């Protein structure tokens, strides 16, 4: 794959053009990832509704039938269910890590294999999350390790 970047002051907007022989799975993932960069979700905190850029999200977690959005400094509640979040971001930088957690891959700093097939993921904010055995293969495929 060849990447060409043309930077000129006279360009008004950023435009991405993909020239390919055939649209394959890798290109579909790239396109989905690019689209997800502009994706936003809403979450509530202290009675206010916030629009949150997905690049700011570290992970989503479901606790007692409520879903929370974790950013570097805040925790928001969202009306979305984990299965809805998983479907919405299935071809992006988010992945299901357990029955109750969806992690932003771009926020993972360290991955440590654990006894029993689990994996520990340490995020950029030094928070530790666990990836269940059944989801480790997905993580390995997404990160190519």
Question: To the nearest whole number, what is the mean pLDDT of the chain?
Answer: 89
The whole-number average pLDDT for the span 3-29 is 84
User: Between these two residues, 31 and 67, which has the higher pLDDT value?
Assistant: 67
Pairing of strands 108-113, 119-123: antiparallel
Measured CA to CA, the distance from residue 132 to residue 96 in angstroms comes to: 9
Dihedrals φ, ψ of 43, to 5°? Answer: -145, 155
Residue 145 has pLDDT above 80, yes or no: no
The predicted model scores a pTM of 0.76
pLDDT number for residue 83: 94
**Residues 43, 30: Cα–Cα separation, whole Å:** 27
pLDDT exceeds cutoff 70 at 131: yes
Tell me the percentage of the chain whose pLDDT exceeds 70. Answer: 96
Residue of higher predicted confidence among 1 and 54: 54
Q: In the structure, what pLDDT confidence band is assigned to residue 38 with cuts at 50, 70 and 90?
A: low
| pLDDT(65) > 80 | yes
Q: How far apart are CA 55 and CA 124, in angstroms?
A: 13
Q: How confident is the model at residue 36 (pLDDT cuts 50, 70, 90)?
A: low
With 70 as the cut, is the pLDDT of residue 75 above it?
yes
pLDDT in tens, 96-128: 999 999 999 989 999 998 888 889 999 999 999
In b/e form, how buried is each residue of 81-115, taking b as 16+ CB within 10 angstroms?
A: ebeebeeebeebbbbbbbeebbbbeebbeeeeeee
């Amino acid at each position: 794959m060849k990447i060409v970047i043309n930077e000129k002051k006279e360009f008004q907007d950023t435009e991405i053009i993909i020239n390919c022989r055939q649209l394959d799975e890798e290109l579909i993932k790239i396109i989905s990832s690019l689209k997800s960069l502009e994706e936003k979700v809403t979450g509530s905190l202290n009675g206010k509704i916030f629009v949150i850029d997905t690049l700011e999200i570290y992970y989503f977690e479901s606790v007692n039938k409520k879903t929370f959005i974790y950013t570097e400094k805040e925790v928001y509640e969202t009306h979305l269910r984990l299965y809805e979040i998983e479907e919405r971001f299935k071809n992006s930088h988010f992945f299901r890590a357990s029955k109750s957690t969806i992690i932003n891959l771009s926020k993972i700093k360290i991955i440590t294999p654990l006894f029993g097939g689990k994996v520990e993921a340490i995020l950029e904010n030094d928070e530790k999350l666990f990836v269940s055995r059944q989801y480790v293969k997905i993580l390995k495929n997404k990160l190519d390790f």
